[in-house]
Amino acid sequence: MPVITLPDGSQKHFEHAITVAEVAGSIGPGLAKAALAGKVNGALVDTSAVIDADASVSIVTDKDPEGLDIIRHSTAHLLANAVQELYPEAQVTIGPVIENGFYYDFAYKRPFSTEDLAAIEKRMAEISGRDLKVHRRVLPRDAAVEHFKKLGEHYKAEIISAIPAGESISLYGQGDWEDLCRGPHVPSTGKLKAFKLTKVAGAYWRGDSRNEMLQRIYGTAWANEKQLKEYLTRIEEAEKRDHRRLGRELDLFHFQEEAPGAVFWHPKGWALFQQLIGYMRQRQTEAGYLEVNTPQVMDRELWVKSGHIESFGENMYLTQTPDDRVFALKPMNCPGHIQVFNQGLRSYRELPLRLAEFGAVHRYEPSGALHGLMRVRAFTQDDAHIFCTPDQITAESVAVTQLILGIYRDFGFEDVRIKFSDRPAKRVGSEEIWDNAEAALRQACEAAGIETTLNPGEGAFYGPKLEFVLRDAIGRDWQCGTLQVDFNLPARLGAHYIGEDSQKHTPVMLHRAMFGSLERFIGILIEHHEGKLPIWLAPVQAVVIGITERQEKYCLEVAENLKNQGLRVETDLRNEKLGYKIREHTIKRVPFLLIAGDKEAEGRTLAVRTRAGKDLGSFELKELSALLCEEIASRGRLVLEDRVSQRRSA
């Protein structure tokens, strides 16, 4: 006679074993209809799961995060079912849930086409319309291997063979189609109504380029058509903002196969890159940081001592020289900064010591994971390490947090979420050290008055961290800055200072990055602003355009004047129609077009037009240059267009 405790604390008593679906039905017909799965004592189970003892039970619907994951997982099965109905020779491999959707990898004799995707999606809708009951059964491992071998599903058989002998294997099916899966799944295919297949790509079996190439079909699934439509609209908007396309159009950078995952910066892109470094250098200097530079290539043994080889070695580039020494391209700056700290005898009076570096680092990423500026193998970190005493952790962490949030505001990011990432499974250091580090970081969060959400198991291998997540103009989240408390690396690499008691002590090291990767942050900025960077960041801030050759001398004089005041200015004196010039520079997203005809040249004025196509009227050069310099100095907080509107309405 199980007693079921519901989330609100109320209890229901049953005379016999009962399913999750029956529990939902006992609460109400609406919940019974909406139920996708259940949680029994915290574990996700199917609605068909039987409860034969006292338990805490909650019903999962499409309003719960777990419900959306179950919809997506079940839709991946719907996809595989449809593919095998249409193309019986296709073998299924794996089909996990990913952010905003799912994918499934297939082995098939030819590539799937756009027309194939349309046909597959249509068949998925047909199977959904059949409202087939989803069933589950369990087989011993060896029986499951034989089952899939008989079906010709050799990839599935290989997956199951890797599972320890003696374990039971669960299979889920609908109608006469069946697949290996842990579950849970929706009760029937009729629950799956809002989905869309998005693209097809190649993927190596088990992610190994030595294996055969499979075909990966991506899709998205949502609780209802409204959510699906909103997501597809966001995707369409994201495609318009794709930094890779805008990077080409704006002549900022490019990639090529000879240097996979590394950026070729063009002059305009490099100007933007240097703007970020100059800005950060100023903010860091004001905050008491000292800039250093450490070697990119260091002996492998240093990385063994630091623990990087053990915990991060698969992502490192190693090389052996003719004298048989093995070196590594640095994937991080921290061991180098400890070497700087270790030079000479340090006193507690020197702490906190804040060392910063714009360090070029290299990390191996699989070729399939590379994605423009967002995921590269060679990048620059705005990295800093603060060596401090345990008593200084809170004050320094609060200062770092305030600095990071202030910097994000300068770039137009007001919506920032902070995640607390605790100890990962693969880590160095004792449990006591981790307890102390996590407690210190939590105390710093409380002192800073910031709210965090837990990101379990995602800390660095040497310490817990805060992750600063930006929300962009179209609602996407980007993890950028980090703050990490490290009690491990300084001790491993022999760092110490002389304390007030004249004894040696190991400093605490705070790892801090604000942009994270400059390359990635530039990609985020481009997409956030749709290429229309604020004037203080724009590679070209204004173009002086002459209507005819008669204004050439005046235009050159204007450009020289503005350049002398620090503006990044170009001239356009080509023998082209004015409309053509305006259109071209508008497409290039230049903030201001300064136009001079005979009237302007004679009156020493300029007609000002924005990249949005708004005519701001005529300005004397002295007034205009002052207004532009003020907008740049304010980092966009004083906007020329707004000030003109206020002046006209006064």
What averages of pLDDT result for each successive group of 10 residues across the chain (650 residues)?
87 89 91 93 92 91 93 96 95 91 93 94 97 93 89 88 86 92 93 95 83 93 96 91 95 95 97 96 96 96 92 91 94 96 95 96 88 95 94 91 93 91 83 84 85 85 87 90 89 95 95 94 95 95 95 95 95 94 95 95 94 92 92 84 68
Residue 446's pLDDT is 86
CB 473 within 8 A of CB 439: no
The whole-angstrom separation of Cα 340 and Cα 65 is 47
601 with 517, same domain?
no
Q: Is 245 a member of any domain?
A: no
CB 229 within 8 A of CB 214: no
The whole-angstrom separation of Cα 92 and Cα 77 is 10
Q: Is 211 a member of any domain?
A: yes
Token digits of residue 57: 């039970």
The whole-angstrom separation of Cα 488 and Cα 434 is 9
Which amino acid, residue 305? Answer: K
CATH of the domain at 44: 3.10.20.30
Q: What is the DSSP string of 185-236?
A: --SBGGG--EEEEEEEEEEEGGG-TTS-EEEEEEEEEESSHHHHHHHHHHHH
Residue 64: CB atoms within 10 A of its CB come to 16
> Which residues touch 148 (CB under 8 Å, ≥6 apart)?
154, 156, 157, 160, 180
Cis bond before residue 184 (omega within 30° of 0):
yes
557 with 488, same domain?
no
Q: Is 269 a member of any domain?
A: no
CB 49 within 8 A of CB 19: yes
- Per the rule left: phi > 0, alpha: psi between -120 and 50, beta: everything else, 491 is alpha
CATH of the domain at 381: 3.30.930.10
> Which residues touch 71 (CB under 8 Å, ≥6 apart)?
36, 62, 186, 191, 192, 221, 222, 223
Residue 501's pLDDT is 95
The candidate with the shortest Cα–Cα distance to 412, out of 237, 534, 559, 496, is 534
Compute the C-alpha angle 233/239/244, nearest 5°.
165
Residue 502's pLDDT is 95
Residue 336: CB atoms within 10 A of its CB come to 22
| CA 48 to chain CA centroid, nearest Å | 37
The whole-angstrom separation of Cα 469 and Cα 461 is 20
Give the C-alpha distances (Å, rounded to integers) separating 395 from 383, 391, 435, 445, 465. Answer: 19, 8, 19, 10, 16
Token digits of residue 153: 């599903």
CB 489 within 8 A of CB 306: yes
300 with 422, same domain?
yes
The whole-angstrom separation of Cα 110 and Cα 202 is 12
The whole-angstrom separation of Cα 349 and Cα 337 is 19
The whole-angstrom separation of Cα 569 and Cα 591 is 11
Q: Is 268 a member of any domain?
A: no
Positive or negative: CA dihedral 583, 588, 593, 599: negative
CB 362 within 8 A of CB 329: yes
The whole-angstrom separation of Cα 216 and Cα 294 is 42
Phi, psi (degrees; rounded to nearest 5) at 578:
-60, -40
Strand runs (DSSP E) across 20-167, as ranges?
37-40, 43-45, 50-51, 55-60, 91-92, 97-98, 101-107, 134-140
Q: Is 250 a member of any domain?
A: no
361 with 425, same domain?
yes
CATH of the domain at 553: 3.40.50.800
Residue 177's pLDDT is 94
Residue 375's pLDDT is 94
Residue 587's pLDDT is 94
The whole-angstrom separation of Cα 53 and Cα 237 is 51
The whole-angstrom separation of Cα 78 and Cα 84 is 10
The whole-angstrom separation of Cα 438 and Cα 485 is 8
Q: Which of 61, 94, 110 is the last residue of a domain?
A: 61
Number of Cα atoms under 13 Å in the Cβ half of residue 614: 9
The candidate with the shortest Cα–Cα distance to 79, out of 100, 60, 96, is 96
Give pLDDT tens digits for 521-539: 999 999 999 999 999 999 9
Q: Is 535 a member of any domain?
A: no
CB 41 within 8 A of CB 53: no
105 with 192, same domain?
yes
Strand runs (DSSP E) across 502-614, as ranges?
504-505, 508-517, 542-546, 569-572, 592-596, 605-610
The whole-angstrom separation of Cα 437 and Cα 106 is 45
Give the catalytic positions in this structure: 334, 363, 381, 383, 385, 465, 511
The whole-angstrom separation of Cα 497 and Cα 509 is 12
464 with 571, same domain?
no
197 with 233, same domain?
yes
Give me the residues paired with residue 594 across strands: 544, 608
173 with 305, same domain?
no
606 with 630, same domain?
yes
DSSP summary character for residue 506: P
CB 356 within 8 A of CB 287: no
47 with 103, same domain?
no
The whole-angstrom separation of Cα 598 and Cα 225 is 58
Secondary structure of residue 545 in the 3-state scheme:
strand
Domain total in the chain: 4
Residue 281's pLDDT is 95
The candidate with the shortest Cα–Cα distance to 606, out of 535, 551, 537, 563, is 551
48 with 111, same domain?
no
The candidate with the shortest Cα–Cα distance to 44, out of 31, 22, 55, 60, is 60
Token digits of residue 169: 């294997």
Q: Is 509 a member of any domain?
A: yes
Q: Is 259 a member of any domain?
A: no
Q: Which of 39, 61, 83 is the last residue of a domain?
A: 61
Q: Which of 493, 528, 563 is the last residue of a domain?
A: 528
Sheet holding 3-5, edge to edge: 11-13, 3-5, 55-60, 37-40, 43-45
CATH of the domain at 124: 3.30.980.10
Residues in the chain: 650
Single pTM value for the model: 0.81
Q: What residue numbers bound the domain in which 128 lies? A: 66-240
Token digits of residue 129: 């319309």
115 with 223, same domain?
yes
The candidate with the shortest Cα–Cα distance to 389, out of 495, 258, 469, 297, is 495
